[in-house]
């Protein structure tokens, strides 16, 4: 099944040998595009790959995987480049960069699509949105569908349609032996289970097949409220009580100097929320009314709109350096909200944020063991972050975020792998608790026994 038939040597190949091997572009350190090509989304990650291979097709992927295996070269896989840990780059190894693989085949009648993994969430959403169709990815358009989907995918349709993986019907995966496998519920079901939450541990996904939903228009957008403990607690209570059609993301943070916010609010703590009601306008307005009534909004941009409009334009050269923590909690009442506000006030970062996402709905109706994403029953996801400019202040911000996490942690210690930092093996195990870990190890053993795919939240083949 592999389309690789060109020969490769077992010593590390020269750049000209690499160029002869691939249909896609090979970018080497002496290339004018190298600096830009080695840059990933997060700042403070400064690695120098020996080459970046912008693969053109599954054959290129297969050849590069085989080459890395046979030469012992470290291999980093990149879709959208948004890994907070820098997993999609390497010092001295090769980056397999999927960003030129953006083919998208939409079956409008059948409501499915095959998407190459160089597409971003925003690109996919815009293209299927033309047909009034959608699935949920995350909150940011530039995130790659590769990494996001493989970790689970929690976004604006999570309560209505579940995680991104809940709409995954099939995938094509190049495994460590260089073979291209079609993977679904009937073909390699163990691998299909593992790639729905288990991240990049098992191979390189070249294409996903997704089920699409009719989402002609939604009601929602940005709502900004003053951040007090009462406002936060009420927001969370309303979000939990809301129908499944409504998914919310509330960022408690200092107000950026946005032109539509009064100058006296800039820097004060606000609830910067994004809400999406996936249903008819009248019911949507009814569902949003309680949020508008929590306090006099500082800005209210919620309106009927097409779903792709939820992805705002992004700054091209934005590369934040971040200290972050992720967790699940059961409840955010007034007292937890007070703790959140106190910690945010004490941060010296250029931006400190507590992001609160109420889960439940369709995501929670899938059995816990149906996929490798094991946190179906979690009620609220919390992501804490300090974004800072000076690398030498890293220690301060890491200590802050760690104290913050301890202060609001509740009984459940599970974590969502896609927001996990470089936090050690115990935390990776927290992403894959109990039997999920054992199953992942056995799938890893079968498809990647030498741990070729190790630049990720790694599940080693033997534990």
Nearest approach, Cβ of 318 to ligand FAD (angstroms)?
Answer: 9
What string marks each residue from 61 to 100 as x (binds ligand FAD by CB under 6 A) or -? ----------------xxxxxxxx--xx---------x--
> By CB under 6 A, how many residues form the interface with ligand FAD?
34
As given in the structure block, the two tokens for residue 356 are 């609160």
Instruction: Choose, by CB under 6 A, the member of 200, 221, 297, 308 that binds ligand FAD.
Output: 200
Distances (CA, A) of 230 to 29, 87, 223, 337, 431: 54, 39, 16, 8, 31
Shortest Å, Cβ 282 to ligand FAD: 28
Please report, as residue ranges, which positions from 300 to 319 form the binding site for ligand FAD (by CB under 6 A): none
List 59, 122, 198, 199, residue binding ligand FAD (CB under 6 A): 199
Cβ nearer to ligand FAD, comparing 74 with 280 = 74
Beta bridge partner(s), residue 251? 272, 355
CA 419-422-426 angle, 5° bins: 90
Tell me which stretch binds ligand FAD (CB under 6 A): 8-16, 196-204, 214-222, 369-377.
196-204
Q: Segment contacting ligand FAD (CB under 6 A): 199-207, 254-262, 286-294, 421-429? A: 199-207
Whose CB is nearest to ligand FAD? 147
Residue 144 within binding range of ligand FAD, rule CB under 6 A: yes
Asked whether 60 and 18 are in contact (CB, 8 A), the reply is no
Cα separation, 123 vs 104, whole angstroms: 10
Using rule CB under 6 A, residue 461 touches ligand FAD:
no
Which of 49, 155, 221, 279 touches ligand FAD (CB under 6 A)?
A: 155
Tell me the closest approach of the beta carbon of residue 249 to ligand FAD, in angstroms.
Answer: 7
- 147 near ligand FAD, rule: CB under 6 A: yes
Q: How far apart are CA 219 and CA 279, in angstroms?
A: 7
162 in contact with ligand FAD (CB under 6 A): no
User: Given the complex with ligand FAD, which of 230 and 314 has the nearer CB atom?
Assistant: 314
Contact 383, 355 (CB under 8 A): yes
Name which position in 122, 146, 162, 178 contacts ligand FAD (CB under 6 A): 146
Residue 78 or 343: the one with the smaller Cβ distance to ligand FAD is 78
- How far CA 263 is from CA of 221, 266, 295, in Å, comes to 22, 5, 19
Q: Is 325 in the site for ligand FAD (CB under 6 A)?
A: no
Is residue 24 a contact residue for ligand FAD (CB under 6 A)? Answer: no
Nearest-angstrom CA–CA distance, 272 and 270: 6
Q: Does 154 bind ligand FAD (CB under 6 A)?
A: yes
Least spacing, CB of residue 263 vs ligand FAD, in Å: 27
Closest CB 17 distance from ligand FAD, rounded Å: 25
Task: Out of 26, 119, 148, 374, point to the residue binding ligand FAD (CB under 6 A).
Answer: 148
Pick between residue 144 and residue 284 the one whose CB is nearest to ligand FAD. Answer: 144
Let me know: does 160 contact 278? Beta carbons within 8 Å.
Answer: yes
Binding-site member from 4, 125, 326, 418 for ligand FAD (CB under 6 A): 418
Binding mask 221-260 for ligand FAD (x = CB under 6 A): ----------------------------------------
For position 143 contacting ligand FAD by CB under 6 A, the verdict is yes
- CB-count burial class (<10 Å; 0-12, 13-18, 19+) for 390: exposed
Per CB under 6 A, does 41 bind ligand FAD?
yes
Taking the complex as a whole, how short is the minimal distance between the CB of residue 247 and ligand FAD, in angstroms? 10
Q: How far is the CB of 134 from ligand FAD (least distance, A)?
A: 15
Interface with ligand FAD (CB under 6 A):
41, 77-84, 87-88, 98, 117, 138-140, 143-144, 146-148, 150-151, 153-155, 199-200, 204-205, 418-419, 455-456
């Amino acid at each position: 099944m592999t389309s690789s038939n060109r020969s490769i040597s077992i010593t590390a190949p020269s750049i000209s040998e690499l160029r002869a091997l691939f249909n896609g572009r090979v970018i080497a350190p002496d290339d004018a595009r190298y600096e830009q090509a080695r840059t990933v989304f997060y700042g403070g990650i400064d690695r120098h790959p020996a080459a970046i291979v912008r693969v053109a097709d599954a054959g290129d992927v297969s050849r590069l995987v085989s080459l890395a295996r046979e030469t012992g070269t470290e291999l980093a896989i990149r879709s959208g480049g948004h890994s907070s840990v820098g997993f999609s780059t390497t010092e001295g190894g090769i980056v397999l960069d999927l960003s030129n693989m953006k083919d998208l085949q939409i079956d409008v009648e059948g409501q499915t699509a095959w998407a190459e993994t160089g597409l971003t969430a925003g690109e996919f959403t815009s293209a299927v949105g033309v047909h009034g169709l959608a699935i949920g990815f995350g909150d940011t358009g530039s995130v790659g569908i590769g990494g996001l989907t493989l970790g689970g995918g929690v976004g604006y349709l999570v309560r209505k349609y579940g995680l991104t993986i809940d709409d995954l019907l099939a995938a094509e995966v190049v495994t460590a032996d260089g073979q291209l496998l079609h993977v679904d519920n009937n073909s390699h079901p163990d691998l299909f289970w593992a790639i729905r939450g288990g991240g990049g541990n098992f191979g390189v996904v070249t294409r996903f097949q997704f089920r699409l939903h009719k989402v002609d228009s939604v009601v929602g957008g940005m709502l900004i409220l003053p951040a007090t403990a009462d406002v936060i607690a009420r927001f969370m209570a309303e979000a939990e009580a809301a129908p499944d059609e409504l998914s919310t993301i509330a960022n408690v943070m200092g107000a950026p100097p946005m032109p539509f916010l009064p100058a006296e609010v800039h820097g004060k703590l606000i609830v910067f929320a994004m809400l999406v009601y996936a249903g008819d306008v009248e019911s949507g307005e009814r569902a949003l009314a309680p949020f508008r009534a929590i306090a006099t909004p500082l800005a209210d941009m919620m309106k009927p709109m097409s779903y792709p409009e939820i992805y705002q334009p992004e700054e091209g050269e934005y590369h934040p350096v971040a200290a972050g923590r992720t967790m699940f909690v059961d409840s955010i009442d007034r007292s937890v909200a007070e703790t959140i506000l106190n910690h945010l006030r004490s941060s010296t970062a250029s931006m400190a944020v507590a992001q609160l996402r109420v889960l439940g709905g369709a995501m929670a109706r899938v059995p816990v063991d149906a996929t490798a994403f094991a946190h179906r029953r979690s009620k609220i996801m919390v992501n804490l972050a300090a974004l800072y400019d000076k690398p030498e202040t890293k220690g301060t911000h890491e200590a802050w975020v760690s104290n913050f996490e301890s202060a609001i942690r509740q009984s459940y210690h599970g974590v969502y792998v896609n927001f996990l930092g470089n936090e050690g093996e115990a935390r990776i195990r927290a992403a894959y608790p109990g039997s999920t870990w054992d199953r992942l190890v056995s799938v890893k053993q079968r498809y990647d026994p030498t741990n070729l795919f190790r630049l990720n939240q790694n599940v080693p083949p033997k534990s």
